[in-house]
A and B are shown apart, each in its own frame.
Chain A
Amino acid sequence: MATDQTYKKKVESAINNPKLSEALHLFGDAYLTSRENAFQGRLDFEAMRKDLAEIKDDVRIRRKELLAEFIKNAEAAGSTVFIAKDTQEANEYVINLAKKKNAKLIAKSKSMVSEEAHFNAALEAEGIKTSETDLGEWIIQLAGQRPSHMVMPAIHMFKEEVAELFSKETGQQLSPDIKSLVNVAREQLRKGYFDADIGLTGANFLVADTGGIGLVTNEGNARLCATLPEVHVVFSGIHKLVRSMEDAVKITRLLPRNATGQLLTSYITWIRGAVPTDGKAKEQHIVLIDGGREALYESKACRDALRCIQCGACANVCPVYQTVGGHVFGSTYISAIGVILTAFYEGLDKAKEITRACIGCRSCSAVCPSNIDLEEIILHLRTQVTQEYGMGMIKNVAFKAVMKNRGLFHSMIRAASKLQRPVTHKNAVDGERPIIRHLPMHFMDRDFTEWRDLPSVAEKSFRDQFKGIVQNVKNSRYKVGFFVGCGADFVYPEVGTSLIKVLNALDVEVVFPQKQNCCGIPALYSGDTETGVDLARQNVEAFTEAEVDYILCVCPTCTMGVKRDFVKRLADSPDWSAKARALSEKTMDASDFLENVLHASEKLTGFKPQGTVTYHDSCHLKRGNKVFKEPRALLNAGGYSVEEMKNSDRCCGFGGTYSFLSHPQISKQITTDKVQTIKAVNSKTVAMDCPGCMIMLKGAMGKADPNVRCAHTIELMAEALDGKE
């Protein structure tokens, strides 16, 4: 797929604006700390988010009945409810109402669905003025922009820019002092609440059993909008429905904590019906907007996205968002949830670039308070994008023509190991394999080797080395099948040989089914399900024949592939899926197996002190397989002393083909962050459990500080064993 040129330009200009990225990084770091503090104590985030997911799923199933209940109760309390099939109908409703009331000014508090509706433009076109009263929204209204974050719409702007906008608006020369700028907004907007004929708010909840709405805010503008004008319009997506006050209260326990690290926002306002206003009953209109939500509810693969409570956390932790900001990585809604909502509310075409911009680190899925597997849904959409728009020539040839054909794939790699000789160089770290410092093709150099070395393909792959390895296991406790994965097979076979050494030392015998092939994730992440299914079959066949007790991977992405994806990919055929399920149950990441099945950190003792290592948590190991304590336990037992780096579980920037083909520039920035955190730890070794991260970090550290070694935990354990002997 040819990358859209305007999109590419947007990426470039965002990358050339390090000030924004810097601000988003500072914010991301501060966010993690305050969120952690907010959940401290007796709150169990995992239990709370599962509970919320159940609530939202029940609401989805019973939505028709609950919506009817909400409407009945709201109307009984004097509200007028209108269901708009799309945002245009919603705008028209308010335009007609405004005309009927002869309204000149609408004071608005924050409503994302009104952004979705381009509400302000639609109303202004009819001569009705709208005034955003949320500080961030007002800033971007004055700037003529769109929000770049769901909770902090103007997060991309700096105080100097705000001062300039406010100066223009007030006709005074204002200094960029935040406190006084906030004061200017307070003074400027106050009159508007009194003058406005209509106050418009969003809604965080539509409570079915009371017929009321709930608003979660900090500034106090929503309360003013809902109080002073004679007419109150509530603009809300239909997915804000909850069953009861109890459901809503449960959400208030998660939303502020996960959004801003607050235990509760300054104001939560519960409004039902036509409350008294200036001696009369207020006119309250609730506009409930579908706008693509019903279609999203009906999509089995994507519907969990409507569990979203709009906390914005998926952006806060996203390395791509932190690199390019919400104006690039999103549309009306930004970051991970934005990718999905854009596809449904604005169309797949509008989302095709951003579905590919996700690096697949799963940070969003881990932080989501509604337990939405955002990354999984984005992958699904990427498949649709690929089906509709293709995935580009390179990937077509690589996946469909080469990888599916195991013989061809492997002989091409053998050939590559010879062909690369003219461009490889000796590695600065002794004993490490040669690297590629520069590629001869100048046009590729910028994205490929300017900022990182590329690994050379191993002289002899693991699959070719295996037959020559002698295993001395007398009383074998287990027979394990080794799923090597492409990285360890062709680039770092020493990880595989190390694994055999460590397992043999614990009386475990290793078998290697030669018919195994790539796990298929690279193809799948590019949206090529067909190749994914084919590869799953090849591997399931190879490992079923091998009859092993466990299947071990040294690459957590492969672990996810074998454990989770094969079952899904082969779900259509009962025979294949039964086999895949049987394998899935036996599949583990190597560190997980060593620690939790073999209890290696207790069994293996008497190591010499090995010095300090710092540990990088690979995305798919920690968030994909929930393994992070195990490698640390192993390393500490092996005589290493693990010193933690900052944000050890932030993505290294690899993302497979992401760093080579789709978004090398974004990758580069994310890797630069990681390199900095590594350098801040005084350790000459970085341990990790993923060959993908090894490719990225060995390459980047090679350019940044060649004396720092990047190694797989299993390699370090094998070396510790060698030292013992």
Chain B
Amino acid sequence: MTPNTHLSCFVEAARRVGTEVTQVDSLQDAAAYIAEKTSGIALVPETVLADKHDLKTLLGAAGVDVYEGDFRKAGHVPNAGITFSNFAMADTGTVVLESTMENIRLATTLPEIHFVLVDPKTILEDNLSAVKPMTEMHKGSEPRFVAYITGPSRTADIERVLTIGCHGPRELHILLVEGISSDLMEI
């Protein structure tokens, strides 16, 4: 598969599991998209990429209510969480977030909506090709928390009826933006 087919495969697989996928031209456009979809506070962890791209400023300028303070005190169900990702997997429509920083975990588990900014260059063919970067992330003996996220939270525990939004975010939005970072170890 070529990177282009990875992209179309990724988009198709992600949409199939209920993820909203949108390609935007810039992080400014992404911020505008997010601003339109949010209606409350947004948790934005200060990761390497967030700092590098000055994400919080962009979001704030677009009108997103970026939460400043201890994420644990942002209420039990904040409105949005906005993060980057390390890489993605085309065959299953999955995004991978190295979430050892606690704020990434809080921003992706608690809110109603999770927005993920993905560089299309980081879309791998499938989860077998993810073994290498996953192994790389686990080098050494530092604590690690890595999350594969494939669509919004779901359950079928009552009468086997698929229901979205059980304990995790009810909506997952993936925004594809070129030029974020092609380094799979960065988030």
Contacts and interface: CB of A to CB of B under 8 A. Distances in A.
A179 interface: yes
A182 B166 CA distance: 6
Give me the 6 closest cross-chain CB pairs, A-B, nearest first. Answer: A220-B168, A273-B143, A136-B157, A76-B141, A219-B166, A268-B148
Contacts of B141: 73, 76-77, 211, 273
Contact of B144 (A185, A227, A260, A272): A272
Contacts of B128: 249-250, 253
Contacts of A273: 141-144
A219 B154 contact: yes
B149 interface: yes
Interface of B: 13, 17, 72, 76-77, 91-94, 100-102, 105-106, 108-110, 127-128, 130-131, 134-135, 138, 141-161, 163, 165-169
* Centre residue among B77, B93, B151 by max chain A CB count within 10 A: B151
A266 B91 contact: no
A610 interface: no
Q: Which interface class (under 10, 10 to 19, 20 to 34, 35 or more) fits A?
A: 35 or more
Contacts of B154: 218-219, 266
Nearest to B13: A263
B77 A190 contact: yes
Given A245-B134, A246-B131, A194 B76 contact: yes
A266 B172 CA distance: 10
Nearest to B143: A273
B162 to A, nearest CB: 9
Interface of A: 23, 26-27, 30, 73, 76-78, 133-136, 139, 152-155, 157-159, 162, 178-179, 181-183, 185-186, 189-191, 194, 209-212, 218-221, 223-224, 226-228, 244-246, 249-250, 252-253, 260, 262-278, 281-282
Given A210-B138, A223-B105, A245-B135, A178 B143 contact: no
B168 A223 contact: yes
A182 B163 contact: yes
Contacts of B109: 220, 223-224, 227
A260 B148 CA distance: 18
B115 to A, nearest CB: 16
A155 B102 CA distance: 35
Given A154-B157, A219-B168, 6 more contacts: A76-B141, A77-B141, A135-B166, A218-B155, A249-B130, A275-B143
A255 B153 CA distance: 18
A183 to B, nearest CB: 8
A269 B157 contact: no
B167 A276 contact: no
Given A136-B157, A275-B102, A266 B167 contact: no
Contacts of B158: 135, 139, 154, 157, 159, 162, 178, 181-182
Nearest to A140: B157
Contacts of B135: 210, 244-246
Nearest to B142: A77
Contacts of A220: 109, 153, 166-169
A245 B134 CA distance: 7
Given A134-B157, A220-B109, A276-B100, A271 B149 contact: no
A186 B134 contact: no
Q: SS class of chain B's interface: helix, strand, loop or mixed?
A: loop
Nearest to B77: A190
A182 B17 CA distance: 18
A158 B159 contact: yes
10 contacts: A23-B160, A152-B156, A153-B157, A154-B157, A219-B157, A224-B109, A227-B102, A252-B127, A264-B127, A270-B134
Contacts of B150: 263-268
A658 B17 CA distance: 43
Contacts of A210: 135, 138, 144
A136 B161 CA distance: 12
Contacts of A185: 166-167
A5 to B, nearest CB: 32
A266 B145 contact: no
Contacts of A267: 147-150, 153, 168
A177 B155 CA distance: 14
Contact of A263 (B76, B91, B131, B138): B91
B143 A276 contact: yes
A178 B161 contact: yes
A252 B148 CA distance: 11
A480 to B, nearest CB: 47
Nearest to B18: A266
Contacts of B17: 262-263, 266
A417 to B, nearest CB: 50
Contact of A275 (B13, B100, B166): B100
A245 B131 contact: yes
A30 B160 contact: yes
B123 to A, nearest CB: 15
A186 B167 contact: yes
Contacts of B145: 226, 269-272, 275
Contacts of A190: 76-77, 167
Contacts of A76: 141
A269 B147 contact: yes
A535 to B, nearest CB: 45
A220 B170 CA distance: 10
A263 B92 contact: yes
Contacts of A183: 165
Contacts of B167: 133, 185-186, 189-190, 219-221, 224
B104 to A, nearest CB: 10
A227 B106 contact: yes
* Centre residue among A179, A186, A220 by max chain B CB count within 10 A: A220
Contacts of B127: 249, 252-253, 264
Contacts of A278: 72, 102
A221 B157 contact: no
Nearest to A79: B143
Nearest to A139: B157
